[in-house]
């Protein structure tokens, strides 16, 4: 298939691009590099053995998005594009609603114009809110997220559901991610947050390379085996393969829209994860226990039966592999991706 990957230069998008190419699909990346380095494209070319087609576009621009879809003539779209920092979404709700919804509207409009009826959407386990039974089943309703970021995911799921009801020939997979971590096994692709990382694993990785002093563990007085929160960490390469499985399953879907959890199906505590990371690094790292972070749930993980039964997919990479791959990436790229693409020399002013 020819696949337009919106947000394909980002953390999960870039790993998915490689997984698609490995399965023989054609890929066009659409990204505006608002939260990704252009040099990701060099790494993709290096790992793929050939350049990966790129459309540099702000997807909230409906006219430009239409041109991109017209030019790239995709059979399907995988939509990763959007803002994703929970805390920032509380401070800047309008930016989150506008960016995440407008990008989706542009893509859907362009898809309709050009008769593209296959879509895989990046959703999140945050749509389950704080009342769903653990492990979270896809059938749970009503969806309710606790942040503006999460509510953009709930809203987009609702938009896609309505669009699917109006056009029964559409096939849309809603992929609800749990906690993506890990990096490409080559150490050449990984997570490169701008500014102070919000998430546990990139934070620990930056402690390990000396960019941060110590991890703050947000509470060890939860009603869990070691008192710290349990989450369902999933290796980004498993997640990428989950996207390929969902894409290849769209044709066989019995209904226009279907949600799938992409998780490991297991809960891992903050302490277990931190200890595994120290073991991968080979020395103790500093951590201190501080107060709970507002809004954190004590424990949740995915019910993974639907993805296994219908997509034929399950996560295969365990905690040790996740942290070893993050460490390989972070130690080889302590400051993340290069700022400039190969062959560009920004310090040289043209005559
Ligand atoms: N966490 C922590 N210290 C940090 C960041 C996160 O103790 O600096 C904990 C957080 O309380 C949660 C888990 O690590 O229990 C995963 O948090 P993250 O922000 O990575 O993902 P979330 O579960 O919020 O989606």
Rounded CA gap, 59 and 164, in Å?
A: 21
Is residue 119 over pLDDT 70? yes
Is residue 319 over pLDDT 50? yes
Per-residue pLDDT, 253 = 98
Q: What is the DSSP letter of 299?
A: B
- pLDDT range class, residue 350, cuts 50, 70, 90: very low
Rounded CA gap, 12 and 253, in Å?
A: 24
Task: Classify 260 as helix, strand or coil.
Answer: strand
Closest residue by Cα to atom 11, ligand 1, is 218
Rounded CA gap, 170 and 160, in Å?
A: 10
* Percent of the chain clearing pLDDT 70 (strictly above): 97
- pLDDT range class, residue 345, cuts 50, 70, 90: low
Is residue 226 over pLDDT 60? yes
- pLDDT range class, residue 342, cuts 50, 70, 90: confident
- The phi and psi torsions of 30 (rounded to 5 degrees) equal -120, 120
Helices 236-249 and 11-22, packing angle to 10 deg = 60
pLDDT in tens, 36-54: 999 999 999 999 999 999 9
Q: What is the DSSP letter of 309?
A: I
Q: Report whether the peptide linkage leading into residue 142 is cis, meaning its omega lies within 30 degrees of zero.
A: yes
Per-residue pLDDT, 323 = 98
pLDDT in tens, 129-168: 999 999 999 999 999 999 999 999 999 999 999 999 999 9
Which of 57, 41, 56 minimizes the C-alpha distance to 341? 41
- The phi and psi torsions of 196 (rounded to 5 degrees) equal -70, 125
Query: If you average pLDDT over residues 307-333, what whole number do you get?
Result: 98
pLDDT in tens, 56-86: 999 999 999 999 999 999 999 999 999 999 9
Q: What is the mean pLDDT of the chain?
A: 96
Rounded CA gap, 233 and 276, in Å?
A: 13
Rounded CA gap, 177 and 232, in Å?
A: 9
Q: What is the DSSP letter of 226?
A: T
pTM above 0.95, yes or no: yes
Query: If you average pLDDT over residues 197-219, what whole number do you get?
Result: 97
**Do residues 124 and 82 lie in contact, with contact meaning Cβ atoms separated by under 8 Å?**
no
- The phi and psi torsions of 169 (rounded to 5 degrees) equal -85, -10
Per-residue pLDDT, 351 = 41
Estimate to the nearest angstrom the gap between the alpha carbon of 8 and the chain centroid.
10
Closest residue by Cα to atom 7, ligand 1, is 217
Q: What is the DSSP letter of 252?
A: G
- The phi and psi torsions of 285 (rounded to 5 degrees) equal -110, 160
Question: Could you tell which of 293, 297, 302 is best to mutate to test the pocket of ligand 1, judged by most ligand atoms within 8 Å of the CB?
Answer: 293
**Do residues 144 and 129 lie in contact, with contact meaning Cβ atoms separated by under 8 Å?**
yes
Q: Which helix (H) or strand (E) holds 21?
A: helix 11-22
| Residue 218, strand partner residues | 290
Q: How close is the Cα of 273 to the center of ligand 1, in Å?
A: 11
Q: Could you give all domains of the chain from N- to C-terminal order, each with its CATH number?
A: 2-350 (3.40.50.720)
Is residue 349 over pLDDT 70? no
Q: How close is the Cα of 225 to the center of ligand 1, in Å?
A: 17
**Do residues 220 and 287 lie in contact, with contact meaning Cβ atoms separated by under 8 Å?**
no
- Among all residues, which ones are annotated catalytic? 149
Question: Could you tell which of 270, 274, 292, 298 is best to mutate to test the pocket of ligand 1, judged by most ligand atoms within 8 Å of the CB?
Answer: 270
Per-residue pLDDT, 276 = 98
**Do residues 44 and 347 lie in contact, with contact meaning Cβ atoms separated by under 8 Å?**
no
Pocket around ligand 1 at a 6 A CB cut-off: 179, 198-200, 203, 215-218, 229, 231, 270, 293, 296
- The phi and psi torsions of 180 (rounded to 5 degrees) equal -70, 130
């Amino acid at each position: 298939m020819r696949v337009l990957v919106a947000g394909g230069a980002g953390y999960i998008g870039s790993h998915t691009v490689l997984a698609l190419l490995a399965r023989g699909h054609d890929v066009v990346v659409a990204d505006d590099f608002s939260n990704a380095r252009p040099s990701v494209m060099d790494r993709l070319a290096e790992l793929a053995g050939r350049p990966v087609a790129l459309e540099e576009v702000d997807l909230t621009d409906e006219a430009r998005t239409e041109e991109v879809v017209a030019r790239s003539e995709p059979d399907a779209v995988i939509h990763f594009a959007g803002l994703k920092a929970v805390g920032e979404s509380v401070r800047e709700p309008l930016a989150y609603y506008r960016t995440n919804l407008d990008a989706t509207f542009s893509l859907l409009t362009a898809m309709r114009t050009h008769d593209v009826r296959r879509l895989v959407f990046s959703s999140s386990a945050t749509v389950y809110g704080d009342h769903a039974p653990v492990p979270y089943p896809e059938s749970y309703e009503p969806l309710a997220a606790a942040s503006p970021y999460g509510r953009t995911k709930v809203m987009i799921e609702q938009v896609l559901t309505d669009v699917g009801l109006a056009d029964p020939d559409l096939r849309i997979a809603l992929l609800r991610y749990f906690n993506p971590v890990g990096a490409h096994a080559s150490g050449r692709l990984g997570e490169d947050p701008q500014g102070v990382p919000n998430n546990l694993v990139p934070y620990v990785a930056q402690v390990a390379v000396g960019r941060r002093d110590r991890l703050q563990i947000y509470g060890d007085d939860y009603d869990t085996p070691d008192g710290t929160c349990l989450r369902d960490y999933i290796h980004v390469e498993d997640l990428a393969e989950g996207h390929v499985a969902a894409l290849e399953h769209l044709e066989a879907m019995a209904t226009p829209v279907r949600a799938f959890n992409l998780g490991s199906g297991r809960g891992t505590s903050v302490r277990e994860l931190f200890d595994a990371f120290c073991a991968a690094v080979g020395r103790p790292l500093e951590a201190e226990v501080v107060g709970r972070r507002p809004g954190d749930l004590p424990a949740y993980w995915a019910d993974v039966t639907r993805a296994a039964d219908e997509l034929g997919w399950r996560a295969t990479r365990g905690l040790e592999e996740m942290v070893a791959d993050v460490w390989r990436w972070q130690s080889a790229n302590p400051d993340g991706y290069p700022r400039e693409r190969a062959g560009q020399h920004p310090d040289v002013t043209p005559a």
